[in-house]
């Protein structure tokens, strides 16, 4: 199949495949003025109404800008999912300014640091958000715009109320250079300070166009949207791709299991979105005879559990689309229209990228090998432009002139990409990469294992040996040696753990993540299969 050179929805709207988000918004407002754009609670905005809201925000931003020129100016936001977050985002871009969406969950010094290095002088927050912010020193912020109740807030700088925005003259002055910076988005920074990812307009424009293409989105599509608008997924895979196609976004503050189906019904959603846990939650709900009779026709997922993929599609009469990517490059892979990637695949490459799998020395591996997923852009300005103030991290993230995902995966002969695990979660044993995610998935299938975690511990032979910590199911008595024997039957020989530790519970951090670094110790009480073997040998006098 020959691939289109430009994302078709973008090309149809702008007459070219390159541009800025401001141009996209204006073209869409003109084309689809009367179509629904945003639904929140009981209220719906058409594209025309929505763009007026966004343009009023743009007018307010431009009024704050010296000489009325907001290009390069930064506007930070600290907002939950609500219409104001949409207007602040779209309006900032329509003003030609740069949007810095802050994760609404952050607190304290981390948040203070992010606000400070955002380069923003304007910060938009909701009333509850200002409670969090009021404890910080926001020396760089001149103006704090509060969505409601600004009068009650104490702030050293200038306080602005949303009424000012509502009363502003609608204006636009969007960026026209596709390379222009659209947003600065912080990554989670798992190994250090969060990195400030620089996102050019053209990257977000084309990326969302390709998602719309992948899902064959139409004007009458509606997404049940709840992913946070401060994340790349919530922006690109939930809002921008629907704008590209002219569809509607039914925005919800968060995902609710109990309300999911009534929300879907209320908004007539054709698509829902989520990660594998959302699929698991929906799957676990009781079957009803009407499962196949919903308005849903597609699910946009970052990772689909292979064991329920086809069953889920069958049960709800819809199609699941795995969209694979990261803040730095979203999306990198997804199903191409008219194709059905195999179960477990993250799809085929974004036509703007070449994907490859690299080995330990950075060498390109043949099809089906396990290694790091990397990407190279085939056209300009379709990926991040760097990490602000951290060129070293950028050089590392692009070593060998490849964009490193940090993900372990493989690509099959047909070009389907498979995400397997994060590399830093992988165990390296005698030349093999072992995915702890996969190992844990196998172990969890053992009837007497309630919970488990796998880590690598330094091996006297070099590299690592595998250690697992297992929490027995209630009333189960887990014998480490027996568990190991079971493993020998159930997993590749190189994955079979040397050490097995039975514990009552796993150490977990505040977000529920297992604190793996606390698991690497190998005390006397830990079962050691190699030690057992040596004991065996000593007893019998045999030498194996």
Q: By the 8 A CB rule, do 386 and 205 touch?
A: no
Q: Report the residue number, 29 or 393, with the smaller CB distance to a copy of itself.
A: 393
Closest separation in Å from C-beta 438 to a copy of itself: 24
Cα gap 233→188, rounded to integer Å = 14
DSSP string of 233-293, one letter each residue: IIIIIIIIHHHHHT-EEEE-SS--TTTHHHHHHHHT-SEEEEEHHHHHHHHHSPP-TTGGG
Cα angle: 250, vertex 253, 259; to 5 degrees: 75
Q: Report the residue number, 365 or 506, with the smaller CB distance to a copy of itself.
A: 365
Residue whose tokens read 């030498």: 543
Q: Report the residue number, 325 or 386, with the smaller CB distance to a copy of itself.
A: 386
Closest separation in Å from C-beta 123 to a copy of itself: 29
Closest separation in Å from C-beta 61 to a copy of itself: 27
Q: By the 8 A CB rule, do 294 and 264 touch?
A: yes
Closest separation in Å from C-beta 330 to a copy of itself: 17
Q: Of all residues in the chain, what percent are helix, strand and coil, respectively (each to 5)?
A: 35, 25, 40
Closest separation in Å from C-beta 362 to a copy of itself: 3
Closest separation in Å from C-beta 178 to a copy of itself: 8
For residue 118 the two structure tokens come to 């955002």
Q: By the 8 A CB rule, do 80 and 253 touch?
A: yes
Query: How many C-beta atoms surround the C-beta of residue 266 within 10 A?
Result: 14
Q: Report the residue number, 167 or 391, with the smaller CB distance to a copy of itself.
A: 391
Please count the residues of the chain: 544
Q: Report the residue number, 380 or 521, with the smaller CB distance to a copy of itself.
A: 380
Q: By the 8 A CB rule, do 237 and 332 touch?
A: no
Q: Report the residue number, 226 or 394, with the smaller CB distance to a copy of itself.
A: 394
Closest separation in Å from C-beta 331 to a copy of itself: 18
Q: Report the residue number, 281 or 379, with the smaller CB distance to a copy of itself.
A: 379
Cα gap 334→323, rounded to integer Å = 5
Closest separation in Å from C-beta 427 to a copy of itself: 23
Closest separation in Å from C-beta 359 to a copy of itself: 9
Q: Report the residue number, 395 or 445, with the smaller CB distance to a copy of itself.
A: 395
Q: Report the residue number, 330 or 438, with the smaller CB distance to a copy of itself.
A: 330
Query: How many C-beta atoms surround the C-beta of residue 1 within 10 A?
Result: 7
Q: By the 8 A CB rule, do 468 and 403 touch?
A: no
Q: Report the residue number, 270 or 433, with the smaller CB distance to a copy of itself.
A: 433
DSSP string of 178-242, one letter each residue: TTSEEEEEE---TTSSPPEEEEEHHHHHHHHHHHHHHTT--TT-EEEE-S-TTSHIIIIIIIIHH
Residue environment code for 37-66, b if the CB has 16+ CB neighbours within 10 A, otherwise e? bbbbeeeebbbebbbebbbbbbbbbbebbe
The residues that bridge with 371 in the sheet, in sequence order, are 409
Q: By the 8 A CB rule, do 471 and 504 touch?
A: yes
Closest separation in Å from C-beta 361 to a copy of itself: 6
Closest separation in Å from C-beta 23 to a copy of itself: 16
Closest separation in Å from C-beta 114 to a copy of itself: 23
Q: End-to-end distance of the chain based on CA atoms, in angstroms?
A: 56
Cα gap 193→412, rounded to integer Å = 35
Q: Report the residue number, 178 or 225, with the smaller CB distance to a copy of itself.
A: 178
Cα gap 421→389, rounded to integer Å = 29
Burial class (CB in 10 A: 0-12, 13-18, 19+), 268: middle
- HSE-up of residue 319 (Cα within 13 Å, Cβ side): 16
Which residues contact a copy of itself by CB under 8 A? 18, 178-179, 358, 361-364, 376-381, 386, 391-392, 394-395, 398, 400-403
Q: Report the residue number, 376 or 441, with the smaller CB distance to a copy of itself.
A: 376
Cα angle: 7, vertex 221, 320; to 5 degrees: 75
Closest separation in Å from C-beta 325 to a copy of itself: 16
């Amino acid at each position: 199949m020959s691939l289109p050179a430009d994302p078709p929805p973008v090309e149809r709207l702008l007459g070219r495949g390159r541009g800025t988000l401001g141009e996209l918004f204006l073209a869409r407002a003109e084309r689809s003025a009367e179509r629904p754009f945003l639904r929140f609670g009981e209220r719906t905005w058409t594209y025309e109404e929505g763009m007026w809201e966004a343009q009023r925000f743009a007018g307010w931003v431009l009024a704050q800008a010296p000489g009325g020129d907001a290009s390069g100016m930064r506007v930070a936001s600290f907002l939950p999912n609500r219409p104001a977050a949409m207007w602040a985002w779209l309006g900032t871009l329509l003003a030609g300014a740069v949007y810095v969406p802050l994760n609404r969950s952050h607190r304290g010094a981390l948040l203070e640091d992010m606000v400070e290095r955002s380069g923003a002088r304007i910060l938009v927050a909701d009333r509850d958000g200002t409670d969090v912010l009021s404890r910080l020193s926001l020396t760089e912020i001149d103006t704090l715009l509060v969505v409601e109740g600004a009068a009650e807030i104490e702030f050293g700088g200038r306080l602005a109320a949303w009424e000012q925005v509502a009363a502003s003259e609608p204006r636009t002055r969007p960026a026209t250079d596709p390379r222009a910076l659209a947003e600065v988005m912080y990554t989670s920074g798992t190994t250090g300070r969060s990195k400030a990812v620089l996102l050019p307009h053209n990257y977000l424009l084309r990326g969302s166009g390709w998602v719309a293409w992948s899902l064959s989105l139409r004007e009458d599509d509606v997404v049940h949207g709840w992913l946070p608008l401060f994340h790349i997924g919530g922006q690109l895979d939930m809002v921008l791709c629907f704008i590209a196609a002219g569809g509607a976004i039914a925005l919800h503050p968060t995902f609710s299991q109990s309300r999911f189906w009534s929300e879907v019904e209320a908004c007539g959603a054709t698509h829902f979105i989520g990660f594998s846990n959302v699929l698991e939650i929906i799957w676990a709900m009781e079957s009803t005879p009407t499962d196949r009779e919903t308005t849903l026709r597609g699910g946009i997922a970052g990772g689909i559990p292979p064991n329920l993929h086809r069953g889920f599609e069958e049960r709800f009469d819809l199609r699941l689309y795995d969209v694979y990517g990261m803040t730095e490059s979203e999306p990198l892979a997804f199903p191409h229209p008219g194709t059905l990637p195999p179960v477990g695949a993250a799809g085929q490459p974004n036509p703007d990228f070449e994907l490859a799998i690299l080995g330990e020395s950075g060498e390109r591996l043949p099809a089906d090998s396990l290694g790091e997923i990397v990407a190279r852009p085939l056209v300009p300005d379709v990926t991040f432009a760097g990490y602000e103030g951290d060129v070293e991290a950028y050089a590392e993230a692009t070593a060998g002139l490849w964009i490193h995902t940090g993900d372990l995966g493989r690509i099959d002969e047909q070009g389907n990409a498979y995400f397997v695990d994060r590399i830093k979660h992988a165990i390296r044993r005698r030349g093999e990469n072992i995915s702890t995610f996969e190992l844990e998935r196998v172990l969890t299938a053992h009837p007497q294992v309630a919970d488990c975690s796998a880590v690598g511990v330094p091996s006297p032979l070099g590299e690592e040996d595998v250690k697992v910590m297992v929490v027995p199911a209630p009333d189960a008595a887990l014998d480490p040696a027996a568990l190991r024997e079971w493993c020998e039957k159930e997993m590749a020989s190189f994955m079979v753990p040397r050490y097995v530790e039975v514990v009552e519970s796993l150490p977990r951090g505040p977000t529920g993540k297992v604190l793996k670094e606390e698991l690497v110790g190998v005390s006397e009480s830990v079962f050691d299969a190699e030690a057992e073997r040596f004991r065996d040998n000593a007893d019998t006098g045999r030498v194996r």
